[in-house]
Structure 1
Amino acid sequence: MKIGNIVVGQSGGPTSAINASLAGVFQAAKDLGAEKIYGMRHGIEGILKEEFINLSQTLGSDSKVQLLKITPSSALGSCRYKLPKVEKDEQTYQKIFDILKKYDISHFFYIGGNDSMDTIQKLSSYGARIGSNITFIGIPKTIDNDLPLTDHTPGYGSAAKYIAAATKEVIYDASVYPFPAVTIMEIMGRDAGWLTAASSLSRGEDCDGPDLIYLPERPFDVEQFVDNVKEKMSQKYAVVIAVSEGLRDATGTYICDSLASKKVDAFGHRQLECTGKALTNMLEVLHCKTRAIELNTLQRCAAHMLSKTDIDESFQSGYEGVMAASKGETGKMVTFHRISNTPYQLEYRLSDINLIANQQRSVPGKYITKGGTDVSDSIREYIEPLIQGEYTPQYKNGVPSYFRF
């Protein structure tokens, strides 16, 4: 089965696995005999500016595809561009479809998270409205793991693996001195605590794991927090706490508001920062040494600690998206459906983009302890299969070597 020209882009926050999905899209299109495979620079903005890369030329060898697969960040660049509503600016949609027609594009693929699926939803809806035969398929991506209708998302497994390892390393480092100290690890997650929950995977025979874990799914009580820390300090010298950046109190106010700038992106999302620092300020009443560690972008670009499971699934999600488009599917996103944990088995399906765009999936209550200060042991059964296996980076002069257009 041969398909026409395709275009693929990446959007939203980069991850360690988003390029694996790009590699999967490219490989499937190549296998199906696509004449031209275009990459749009900086997401949908690349379409509007007609900034394309001919992937057929730049990814001409298998070795380049394999190197791209284990390269962190978004090789094509990204954007935070929100398409306007059609009724407010139909000219933008007309321009996009005119450009797609100019380049004889048959299939459009967008790799991203919640807001990127909003783009797929709007374009596929407009395409249907004007009778276009171009297909629009979303390829999931987000370390936040908060897309609905899918068991998990590409990028989460590698980020979870890094967080689990970094947590263990921080705990080992914090435990060397015989005096009271509190270390707070701030982990990404505006509305969902999946990443912070992954810190619990540091627990084992060689490590007790975090003493307290706080997710944004539960209102944060400052006074109770101080009491909880004080109790832990009565039991041990070094207390390590994992928190989500998006912690809010009972009124919905972000804990970081006392220090953060309150900036928002194009989609109206708060740019969160300094939650860990705000919490250490609250602990001054305990008169002990405190430290805030913000993992920040490290958790999404740590390609030296990739999950093989995550990378292989990310690649396959891109591949499956192209195969679906070749059969005429449109207005869909590739979703993961877990068949079993032991052995771990997965099935790839398609889900209606209208049920996914601008929606979020939180950590279920069954995974959060009653007091909201930890996660249950059962969450390990969910996360652990996703962090298995490793890809060794290609090294040059002692440091990893990556793909770059």
Structure 2
Amino acid sequence: MGAGGNLLVAQSGGATAVINASLAGVVRAALEHRQFGAIIGARHGIDGVLTERFVDLGRQPAEILDQLLTTPSAALGTTRRRLTDETAARAVRILAQYDIRAVAYIGGNDSADTALRLAAAARDAGYDLRVVSVPKTIDNDLPGTDHCPGYGSIARFLALAARDAVRDTEATAALYPVKFIEVMGRNAGWVAAATALGQDGDGDGPHLIFFPERPPRDLHGLLEEVQRAYDRHGQVVAVVPETLKDAQGRPLSGEDLSWTDPFGHRYYPSPGPALTRAVEEHLGLRARFDKPGTIARMFAACVSSVDRREAYEVGAAAVRLLVEGASEVMVTLERVSDDPYAATTGVIAAAKVANRERRMPDAFIGPDGRSVTDAFRTYALPLIDGPLPPYARLLDLPYLRA
């Protein structure tokens, strides 16, 4: 099936610092191919289709497309709506009214589910529609791709932020010897692992990284680990994912459910405050916690140039696939070499991505379960434009009075 009709672009899921670079890649590639009658953007993902809130992307001034490359968040807006059979069928009827024959849907594993449901509804209706997923997630947990656009930038932010938090704790260890850094990342340890990328050497913090793949035995087990690290280093910086559970699958922040999203993901209270209180109550050590939250995935000043470039490239690759007649696939990034770093785009069936997660491999987690390996550094440092420039440490040169 060749190209034709109009092209729809939408953004979905959690926004990132580079998701708009993918949008720019789609729009520019579509303009260059000249195979579509119009390039239409849907406001707030599939919600924009269902409410017919569309914007003409093909007539945007060139300077706006240029600025999109360096603009964080999602310019079109996002959603977490999950399509039902009824809403998917209604969406296809609306697409048909606008002669939309191709869709580039930018998002993660939940968004791949939306793309597949849309394609299936079109097939059931006998409507000729191609749907290609454009990868995006800071969680870096999409199967079939070396890494995900969005990850390199949050990883760079957290490498920088954790390194500075470590220096702060070193300087104030007599006042607040324990600090927790709570990070995003859902059920995989990729985001937590990134905090190690600013370490300067052995013994440098973070001293403990709690990966979802290596949960603590229980709260008391975690506290024992903190105490041992304090006894060894005189201070502790510990990284915890916002979804931290114990070995029995119980949230360490308590089991009072805060929210369940349309895709069934459960959200519990933040573990940072709970663990800080536990350290003070049970260990008698003063503690603090930092929680960068959504600013970590959105901070434009810390964007990785590699991440931005690759986000643009996967958007452009999606258009090439649509022009060739591909559907129900996702663009991937395939690593060609580590040194010098190089990657190219590939493709995978979207069914192998939707509603699935790729967790940290054992080879990337240190034998102690609380650190990363050199293999992870080799993998991740190119994605953050690393390694980071070193900080100074004063030499311990005693002053001898004459």
| TM-score over 0.5 for the pair | yes
Q: How does 1:257-268 map to 2 (within 5 A)?
A: 257=254, 261-268=257-264
Which residue is equivalent to 1:228? 225
1:43 and 2:45 equivalent? yes
Matched with 1:400 is none
Deviation at 1:126?
A: 2.5
TM-score, normalisation: structure 1: 0.90
C-alpha distance in structure 2 between counterparts of 1:189 and 1:343, whole Å = 28
The CA deviation at 1:304 is 0.8
1:257 and 1:178, CA in 2 relative to 1: closer, same or farther beyond 3 A?
Answer: closer
Q: Are 2:88 and 1:93 equivalent residues in the alignment?
A: yes
- 2:66 corresponds to which letter in structure 1? Q
Distance change (3 Å), C-alpha of 1:2 and 1:253: closer
Is residue 127 of structure 2 the alignment partner of residue 116 of structure 1? no
SS in structure 2 at match of 1:76: coil
The residue number in structure 2 matching 1:378 is 375
In structure 2, the gaps of 5 or more residues are: 388-402
Q: Is the CA contact 2:15–2:73 (under 8 Å) kept in the aligned structure 1?
A: yes
Indicate the percent of aligned positions where both proteins have the same amino acid.
39
Letter in 1 for 2:378: E
* Number of aligned residue pairs: 382
CA distance in 2, matches of 1:174, 1:384: 24
Does the 8 Å CA contact 1:139/1:317 hold for their aligned counterparts? yes
* Aligned 8 A contact 1:308 1:389 in 2: no
Aligned to 1:396: none
Which digits, 9 at most, give the CA deviation of each residue in 1:358-394, with x for residues without a partner? 110000112222332222222101111111189xxxx
Compared CA separation, residues 230 and 389, structure 1 to 2 (3 A): closer
The Cα shift of 1:205 comes to 5.4
**Alpha-carbon deviations, 1:278-328, whole Å to 9, x = none?**
211221221111001111111111011110000000001000000110010
Report runs of 4+ in structure 1 exceeding 6 Å deviation.
none
Once residues 220 and 83 of structure 1 are traced to their aligned partners in structure 2, the CA distance between those partners, rounded to angstroms, is: 36
Q: 1:76–1:123: structure 2 CA closer, same or farther, 3 Å change rule?
A: same
Alignment-derived partner of residue 138 in structure 2? 143
Residues 178 and 18 of structure 1, relative CA distance in 2, 3 Å threshold? closer
The Cα shift of 1:93 comes to: 3.0
Q: Which amino acid in structure 1 is aligned with residue 28 of structure 2?
A: Q
Secondary structure at the counterpart of residue 220 of structure 1: coil
- 2:285 is the counterpart of 1:288: yes
- Aligned letter for 2:49? I
| 2:159 pairs with one of 164, 170, 192 | 164
Q: Is the 8 A contact 1:3 1:32 kept in 2?
A: no
Deviations 1:79-116 (A, max 9, x none): 110001x3xx3xx3332122111111121111011110
Kept in 1: contact 2:257–2:266 (CA 8 A): no
**Consecutive unaligned residues in structure 1, runs of 5 or more:** 391-405
User: What is the 5 A alignment of 1:198-217?
Assistant: 198-204=194-200, 208-217=204-213
Query: In 1, are the aligned partners of 2:101 and 2:130 still within 8 Å (CA)?
Result: yes
Matched, 1:186 2:177: no
Aligned to 1:394: none
TM-superposed CA distance for 1:131, in Å, is 3.1
Trace 1:305-324 onto structure 2 (pairs within 5 A).
305-324=302-321
Q: What is the deviation of 1:207?
A: 8.6
Whether the 8 Å contact between 1:202 and 1:208 is mirrored in structure 2 is: no
- Residue 160 of structure 1 aligns to a residue whose secondary structure is helix
Q: 2:29 — aligned with what?
A: 28
RMSD: 1.9
